[in-house]
Chain A
């Protein structure tokens, strides 16, 4: 059974609000995105800046209202109940801005328990120590303040804070982007351990396809708010279908000098989401674009994956 299901999720932000009356222009950050996340899975959302991946993460955690589309949690319409808040937690990219510099680690991790009035102070402390052990921090760390910790330790505190309420689903928004590569590897390994230990499901937001490939089961590739291609990592990374996925994979600098790619990969830049192209959002950069692409492509199911590209239209009607 799917733990979380997103159907036709759309989120627009008003822009250029005037003092008098409502704004008439909107920025569509997420455009009819649908996906399912199963129990115990690592589902990655990958995309460049402006692709809408962080907006989706925040919507799942209830940070935005006024959305259209449906979000089903355990098969039912998600409600912003206490239980759901406890079960869906988030880890942010930059621990320097997500950890309160004036609170010590104990107080940071305890906050969720305090707010939801869980346990006596003594029980809370033992829960905190248990989670601090699990994320690989020294017990003495709980007396320290964020500025006394290294980047990797701070991110471990962020993870501990999100796990203290025993969530089912963890939404991780670029949790390793601010870290050095050796520390990033430690945090990724920790996340793999914690997933098994606590039976967690991850939604992993990243711009790094190398992490997606190493770490996740399924991936959705986003571009300008739309889902371009989605399916098992083994298929998407090894045999991409969508021209954008192909270009994105070619752009990843491969850590092997005998595999240098000396061509320009994708030409041009991501268009402004305020004034997106008509039809397929990728039309302005696509090497394979043809007349039909000025109409928005439908999502086509090919085997285990879904592709939103006119190149694959015919296969669908054949089937």
Chain B
């Protein structure tokens, strides 16, 4: 399959009073056409900033984006994002209440997207917005057009945000923790909706979440981030059945389970805390918490190693490569 988006050596550096910090720090990945790439990581891993950097929305100052290239089907996003954002790449955020204007009717907010990006006339835009909501299974879209965001529940507001993001038929949709604020039954409905988008609209998706359960249910490939670094990227089946990086293994072991064998058992958690990103932690950023750490891990950053279909940044796999 063809790559739709290729991110090459992306760094976002923030200047803070305490010093400089980099998250994401030198990460490279791609998104294929009609693919859902999941990005998973804990708070401070840099997953949201990665999304904002692709969209060119990192506030500068304090942030500074640098990348060798961010390629979106032949065009360089670092220079051309202003013509692409909102039309060919759109984004859905975690909290729809912060994204929707509370004092403007939903209809106006939806049609604005079309009049701005597609030069549609108002009546045509209204028709298209209603049609989009209908195809996403939003009930009685006509009434909704004349209502305000507060009149709707969290799940419905998120559906509205998704409809808005899909209005210009984007080729890539970036969803940043789109179900985190929702109840589990509503989350399941929204995940269903995302799967439908991929099927019916041929849209590629970057899905950011901290929830490995959600990742397992939605993603085709998964990128795991830790403290600004990409630590592992693999097909979803491989990541869950044969996790390679010790951090990925630790994360998977930290999830409480529904299986009877685990009942009343302690979890094999990762010790310690995520390190601060400011300052100079030498070597692999995970080594202070890693149970398989070796002397080299605290000295030198691990290289990127390809093991079968996965890419992993960990010294443990270096030997395997040499042996081959």
A252: which B residues are within 8 A, CB to CB? Answer: 184, 213, 258
Those of A47-103 within 8 Å (CB) of chain B: 48-49
B191: which A residues are within 8 A, CB to CB? Answer: 253
Segment among A15-23, A120-128, A205-213 that sits at the interface with chain B: A205-213
A303: which B residues are within 8 A, CB to CB? Answer: none
Q: Contacts A182-B254, A214-B262, A237-B258 known; A207 to B210 CB distance under 8 Å?
A: no
Q: Contacts A248-B185, A269-B155 known; A260 to B216 CB distance under 8 Å?
A: yes
Question: Is B3 an interface residue, CB under 8 A from the partner?
Answer: no
Q: In the docked arrangement, what's the CA distance between A311 and B224, Å? A: 45
How far in angstroms is the closest Cβ of chain A from B270?
4
**In the complex, which range does the number of interface residues on chain A fall in?**
35 or more
B254 touching A210 by the CB < 8 A rule?
no
A237: which B residues are within 8 A, CB to CB? Answer: 258, 260
B266 touching A192 by the CB < 8 A rule?
yes
Write out, one digit per residue, whether chain A residues 242-260 have a CB within 8 A of any chain B CB (1) or not (0): 0000011111111111111
Tell me how many residue pairs across A and B have CB atoms closer than 8 Å.
147
Question: Is A118 an interface residue, CB under 8 A from the partner?
Answer: no
B255 touching A181 by the CB < 8 A rule?
yes
How far in angstroms is the closest Cβ of chain B from A272?
9
Contact partner of B263 among A234, A254, A255, CB < 8 A? Answer: A234
How far in angstroms is the closest Cβ of chain B from A93?
14
Question: Is A294 an interface residue, CB under 8 A from the partner?
Answer: no
Those of B213-264 within 8 Å (CB) of chain A: 213-217, 219, 236-237, 240-241, 250-260, 262-264
* Chain B, Cβ-Cβ closest to A182: B270
Q: In the docked arrangement, what's the CA distance between A178 and B238, Å? A: 29
Segment among A166-174, A183-191, A273-281 that sits at the interface with chain B: A183-191
A180: which B residues are within 8 A, CB to CB? Answer: 42-43, 210, 274
Contact partner of B267 among A189, A251, A260, CB < 8 A? Answer: A189
A153: which B residues are within 8 A, CB to CB? Answer: 273
Q: In the docked arrangement, what's the CA distance between A208 and B255, Å? A: 11
B210 touching A265 by the CB < 8 A rule?
no
Question: Could you show 21 A-B contacts with beta carbons less than 8 Å apart?
Answer: A49-B183, A180-B43, A182-B251, A185-B256, A188-B267, A189-B266, A192-B266, A211-B256, A214-B262, A214-B264, A233-B263, A238-B260, A251-B187, A254-B216, A254-B217, A255-B240, A255-B257, A256-B216, A256-B240, A257-B237, A261-B188
| Contacts A192-B266, A214-B256 known; 10 new A-B pairs at CB < 8 A | A181-B212, A182-B42, A189-B267, A208-B184, A210-B256, A213-B256, A214-B264, A250-B188, A251-B188, A261-B188
